[in-house]
């Protein structure tokens, strides 16, 4: 009879010890996670590159929208089919650095529009891709597309190069741009600028989820791939408008939006609010217990069946089929953005090359720039220098001139 109270007291002491030990361990883990992680100015918290928590940057989004609406006119506009596109106003932008013709294509001021069909005896070439194809930070005359046209002319081959590249595009948007705008131009050659980082853009819907520092307040379509036959299916079409996205993120309906659930970079704030969100340690556990982290370069290169690789390969396959269907020739050119790209992405590039011919530029760029002590990118920017574009143009001109 006298042992029961003592036994209960012992159990209470054990439970108290376990609770205290758990609290102390959690406190140590909390301190460790906070010290190892990075608190960003925008309120995001990352650990070893993994996004653990992040608030929606509503103020920045509103500021970007206001800036776009205040621009006279803006270079980029929302597009319900593509996500965003170039403003089809034949006018200079960014103090004359960029010029968009009346068709919404990158051009020079001497090309206000282009005909629906090429002139007799002229080989029409259409370019698809992102900012490295568009020629960000360079005047039109220095872009590799324009330099390719001049190189072909110097070799006695009359050509017309039409640049459909758009900054920030994924491979998916490049394909959609070809379907809507490129095929109707009746090109003889379609050149797709393969910038390997675009593999990850294919898995993204909200640009600011993928790249929080982005100045693009847009959403984009993305393709899903059927497990059985690699068929592509689109989500977020028509694309959510920027103001519609902001409203959904403010009122909580984004959690129920099917298109946003397919964004592999959607941060934790899309999930319902939880009382433990103030703890970095518990939020980290939640992030691992939830959706899998977005794929890395290692994932894509190690397993061609992972989502990133499968979607990218299916997009390229669809592009090849559709270019062939209009009687044109597809040329895929690898555009490395870092000197290590060729080695880092080698397995994925080999997988693409096993299915489609790929023009490699890395050796020529390395010989012409790195070995000469010259930069691959603009010293004051993040895109190709004019010299890098000249090398890409020369490699492509040689490839197009070679017997097939």
At 307-358, the pLDDT tens digits run 999 999 999 999 999 999 999 999 999 999 999 999 999 999 999 999 999 9
pLDDT above 60 (res 79): yes
Say how many CA atoms lie within 13 Å of 94 toward its Cβ.
Answer: 12
Q: Which fold has domain 79-201+300-401?
A: Rossmann fold (3.40.50)
DSSP at 94: T
pLDDT of residue 46: 77
Residues 6+ apart with CB under 8 A from 58: 246, 249, 250
Cis omega (within 30 of 0) on the bond before 66?
Answer: no
At 184-238, the pLDDT tens digits run 999 999 999 999 999 999 999 999 888 877 888 899 999 999 876 678 999 999 9
> Which one has a higher pLDDT value, 394 or 25?
394
Distance CA(200)–CA(197), nearest Å, equals: 6
> Per-residue confidence at 142, pLDDT binned at 50, 70, 90?
very high
Say how many CA atoms lie within 13 Å of 310 toward its Cβ.
Answer: 16
pLDDT of residue 39: 80
pLDDT of residue 209: 87
Distance CA(396)–CA(333), nearest Å, equals: 8
Distance CA(289)–CA(281), nearest Å, equals: 13
> Which one has a higher pLDDT value, 188 or 291?
188
Joined tokens for residue 35 = 């010290």
pLDDT of residue 103: 92
Backbone Cα Rg of the chain:
25
pLDDT of residue 95: 86
> Per-residue confidence at 6, pLDDT binned at 50, 70, 90?
low
Tell me what the pLDDT averaged over the chain comes to.
Answer: 87
At 81-123, the pLDDT tens digits run 999 999 998 778 888 899 999 999 999 888 777 888 899 999 9
Distance CA(191)–CA(132), nearest Å, equals: 13
> Per-residue confidence at 291, pLDDT binned at 50, 70, 90?
low
Q: Are 186 and 122 in contact (CB under 8 A)?
A: no
- In sequence order, which ranges of 238-326 are alpha helices (DSSP H)? 242-251, 258-261, 280-289, 297-302, 307-325
Mean pLDDT of the 175-186 span? 97
End-to-end CA distance of the chain: 98
Distance CA(105)–CA(372), nearest Å, equals: 34
**Cα–chain center distance at 146:** 24
Q: What is the pTM of this model?
A: 0.87
Q: Which of 36-50, 217-231, 242-256 has the highest mean pLDDT?
A: 217-231
pLDDT of residue 403: 81
* 209-240 b/e (C-beta count within 10 Å ≥ 16 → b): bbebebebbbbbbbbbbeeeeeebeebbbebb
């Amino acid at each position: 009879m006298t042992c029961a109270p003592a036994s209960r007291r012992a159990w209470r002491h054990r439970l108290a010890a376990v609770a205290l030990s758990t609290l102390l361990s959690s406190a140590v883990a909390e301190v460790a996670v906070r010290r190892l992680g990075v608190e960003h100015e925008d309120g995001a918290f990352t650990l070893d590159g993994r996004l653990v928590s992040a608030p929606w940057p509503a103020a920045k989004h509103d500021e970007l929208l206001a800036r776009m609406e205040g621009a006279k006119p803006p270079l980029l506009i929302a597009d319900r089919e593509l996500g965003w596109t170039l403003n089809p106003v034949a006018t200079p932008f960014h103090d004359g650095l960029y010029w968009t013709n009346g068709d919404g294509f990158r051009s020079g001021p001497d090309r206000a529009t282009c005909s629906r069909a090429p002139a007799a005896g002229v080989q029409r070439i259409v370019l698809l891709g992102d900012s490295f194809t568009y020629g960000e930070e360079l005047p039109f005359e220095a872009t590799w597309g324009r330099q390719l046209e001049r190189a072909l002319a110097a070799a006695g081959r009359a050509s017309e190069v039409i640049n459909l590249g758009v900054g920030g595009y994924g491979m998916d948007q490049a394909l959609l741009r070809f379907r809507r705008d490129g095929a109707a131009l009746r090109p003889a050659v379609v050149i797709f600028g393969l910038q390997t980082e675009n593999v990850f853009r294919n898995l993204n819907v909200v640009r600011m989820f993928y790249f929080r520092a982005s100045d693009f307040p847009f959403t984009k379509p993305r393709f899903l791939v059927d497990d059985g036959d690699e068929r592509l299916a689109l989500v977020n079409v028509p694309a959510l408008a920027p103001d519609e996205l902001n409203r959904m993120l403010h009122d909580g309906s984004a959690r129920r939006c099917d298109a946003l659930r397919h964004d592999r970079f959607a941060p934790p704030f899309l999930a319902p609010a939880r009382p433990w969100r103030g703890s970095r340690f518990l939020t980290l556990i939640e992030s691992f217990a939830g959706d899998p982290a977005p794929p890395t370069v290692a994932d894509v290169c190690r397993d061609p069946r992972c989502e990133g690789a499968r979607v990218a390969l299916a997009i390229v396959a669809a592009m090849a089929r559709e270019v062939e269907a209009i009687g044109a020739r597809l040329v895929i050119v690898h555009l490395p953005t870092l000197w290590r790209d060729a080695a880092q992405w080698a397995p994925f590039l080999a997988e693409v090359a096993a299915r489609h011919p790929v023009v490699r530029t890395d050796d020529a760029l390395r010989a012409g720039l790195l070995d000469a002590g010259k930069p691959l990118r603009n010293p004051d920017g993040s895109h190709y220098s004019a010299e890098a574009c000249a090398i890409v143009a020369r490699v492509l001109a040689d490839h197009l001139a070679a017997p097939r």
